[in-house]
Chain A
């Protein structure tokens, strides 16, 4: 329990630090939103009034605290490009990215665990050799290229899905998830290949340990040893890795959303960076950063729960 409390403390400190860093990062950039918002309407007096209204004249620490307060209460400021609350600009977009990342994360697990086990189980055979070569290639494919191949093959040639035809969740959960399948797959495959490789070597590592030899000596088959003894231990590093890879699938979505024209955070992040709409960019970066930190935290807690040895360290 003390461990959880300690980790939670670290979590909160990290979150505050990250929010500060994200805030400062976007303060470095010289950008005066008033010219952008006012456009041809610009006069120095109007600009001054607007700066006052947006709180840009406050000292830096006050602006940070205001922004943090807004962020926590769900009102992270005003978009410079759209001059409406950031919350409204982001409306509906978090769900798309969240669904896509989670979906691909689930796919990573569905593919990687059986694949890793099979590769370890058939160590030395032809199946393993072919599997490993394929695995290496999959690890090297950029998700956005995979997305393009899927668009061509399954979208244009076979017409299994409609490129660009994303349907929002309001039109039905099944339909939306159906469209998200190929984007999720494109993100998941390279990630799953890496995870499978990790699981395989983790298993092979365990197989050399004493307790495995003992198990063998009792006349258990390789499969039985693997299933009953090795897997639990071999999964430990993989669980940590999987927890952390949710962050990677979120990052993967940023790119793959472009390929499939998904109205998620990725497109918004890119355009807000391009348009120097920093309240929006800042908010998205912080959201993703929070997810990363939180997943690392969860990974720590889960590992500790599954493997009491960690507690001793």
Chain B
């Protein structure tokens, strides 16, 4: 059905080629403890509750919450952009019916789909699209709300159903960025949550629950379920108990260690599609010294960390790129540093820390995956004389202090991508980038990155992005750990879950069977 609408120009072929490379999406794998029952026939209707260990951002404004992956993956069900990713990572037309780009890749034209309705019953018009994109790109205020679309110079409607977007400079990956939500013209999403997605927002009780209901007038394939209650259970221990007890039907992004308890559920294994690392603040002592960062890389055996904290599930990484990105992923960087305690001590001594030092790892307390990795790292650093203190903070504090305020020494966290565009993962390490929370500063990196994004030659671009990845590894920007395994636990009578190569939870495909 989607394929009907695919009309793509040559300039876009590379995006799709990339997407095709990621076609080896992780499917259901039995982690060894549970034999998933074959899901029965779908039945329409019904309701489920899904356990989330992260409360959503305070604001459900799709243009504001561009930073918390946990919020975006829920909003994915409520809002849609001109295009949206499917479970293979392909960008498929959504509010747009078709699109085209000029040869210079700096002007894109979108034809709007007819009969798309907002949750408030109104039709989506070209004016709504112009309003939404102008708002997100900050065309009037000069301050983009969504960094993905910051490259937009102008958005105009040429007739009732055609939108022309001009870019400040060529961007072959622009399509991956134009998944930005379309909202009704003049609408302030803070007052009411209105999108076009398969689910509509019904209610929210802070730190407790969010209720979504099926949107009957959805333009595409409708959701199977009538109602989804997202239950916020920030304590990962309690979340497991709730799943075990059956009060929650489903949860995603669970840790391997949480799985053996859930013998009452079907377990699917996929990958989180994140770059989990011990992110180091390159601007503070002692991490401003590359030798110290390298010493950490030599001291921390990522395979051992994965064994200890993730029961061996997870793909080891060596730079800011994960396998779902296909051709951009460089497996040869994974073991760029191999465990070598003597080498680590030597480097520390050279840097002036012969007896080691103390530092603090700040980690969001509700993310067990990161807390466990932090504990394993703390343990592995002891032999080289480095003492790590672990400061577990609330997610919102982590976000405002460590991430936005850059007030941290080190943190264990996962970075995800908004779309299957290499720049999504690599842009943040350009010096001066607002997202460069680790204060990485390398002129060589900036040069390679700028070269990558200014060319429209695919081979050149790929090579440049790979150069960026290599610099991150060489400079030991962070201690890269893994793309963690992500386990999905579902009640035995649920089916239809699909893994995305992105940080997405697609609720519309899920159905009850019995």
Contacts and interface: CB of A to CB of B under 8 A. Distances in A.
Interface of A: 35-36, 39-41, 79, 81-84, 88-89, 91-93, 151, 155-156, 159, 161-166, 258-261, 263, 267-268, 271, 274-277
Contacts of B64: 39, 41
A228 B245 CA distance: 49
Residue of B67, B208, B239 with most chain A CB atoms under a 10 A cut-off:
B208
A267 B404 contact: no
A164 B397 contact: no
Contacts of A159: 245
A40 B68 CA distance: 12
Contact of A88 (B206, B239, B365, B396): B206
Contact of A165 (B239, B247, B365): B247
A263 B397 contact: no
Interface string B186-202: 00000000000000000
6 contacts: A161-B245, A163-B244, A164-B248, A165-B247, A263-B207, A263-B208
B405 A35 contact: yes
A289 B143 CA distance: 45
A159 B246 CA distance: 10
Given A36-B400, A164-B238, A81 B245 contact: no
Contact of A162 (B67, B209, B247, B434): B247
Given A39-B400, A164-B243, 11 more contacts: A82-B58, A84-B206, A91-B206, A162-B245, A163-B238, A163-B245, A163-B247, A261-B239, A263-B205, A267-B234, A274-B397
Interface string B87-127: 00000000000000000000000000000000000000000
Given A41-B143, A164-B241, A92 B205 contact: yes
Q: Which secondary structure characterizes the binding site on chain B?
A: loop
Contacts of A261: 233, 235, 238-239, 241-242
A274 B392 CA distance: 10
Residue of B205, B206, B248, B434 with most chain A CB atoms under a 10 A cut-off:
B206
A311 to B, nearest CB: 47
Residue of A36, A91, A156, A277 with most chain B CB atoms under a 10 A cut-off:
A36
Contacts of A274: 365, 393-394, 396-397
Contact of B207 (A83, A258, A268): A268
A236 B479 CA distance: 65
A164 B233 contact: yes
Interface string B138-151: 00000101000000
Nearest to B241: A163
A277 B55 CA distance: 15
A260 B244 CA distance: 13
B207 A267 contact: yes
Residue of A39, A40, A162, A261 with most chain B CB atoms under a 10 A cut-off:
A261
Contacts of A36: 396, 400
Ranked nearest first, the 10 interchain pairs of A and B with the lowest CB-CB distance are A164-B242, A165-B247, A274-B394, A163-B241, A162-B245, A163-B245, A261-B238, A263-B208, A82-B58, A162-B247
B245 A155 contact: yes
A155 B241 contact: yes
Contacts of A260: 238
B245 A83 contact: no
B59 interface: yes
Contacts of A88: 206
B434 A40 contact: yes
Contacts of A166: 247
Contact of A81 (B238, B242, B246, B396): B396
B425 to A, nearest CB: 18
Contacts of B235: 258, 261
Contact of B246 (A91, A165, A276): A165
B397 A89 contact: no
Interface string B326-356: 0000000000000000000000000000000
Nearest to A96: B208
Nearest to A277: B396
Contact of A40 (B67, B206, B234, B239): B67
A156 B245 contact: yes
A92 B248 contact: no
A80 B207 CA distance: 14
Nearest to A260: B238
Nearest to B238: A261
A161 to B, nearest CB: 8
A165 B245 contact: yes
Contacts of B67: 39-40
Contact of B208 (A41, A83, A92): A92
A35 B405 CA distance: 8
A120 B394 CA distance: 49
A312 B19 CA distance: 87
Given A258-B235, A261-B241, A271-B234, A35 B396 contact: no
B396 A83 contact: no
B241 A81 contact: no
A275 B235 CA distance: 16
Interface string B212-235: 000000000000000000000111
A83 B59 contact: yes
B18 to A, nearest CB: 28
B48 to A, nearest CB: 14
Contacts of B206: 82, 84, 88-89, 91
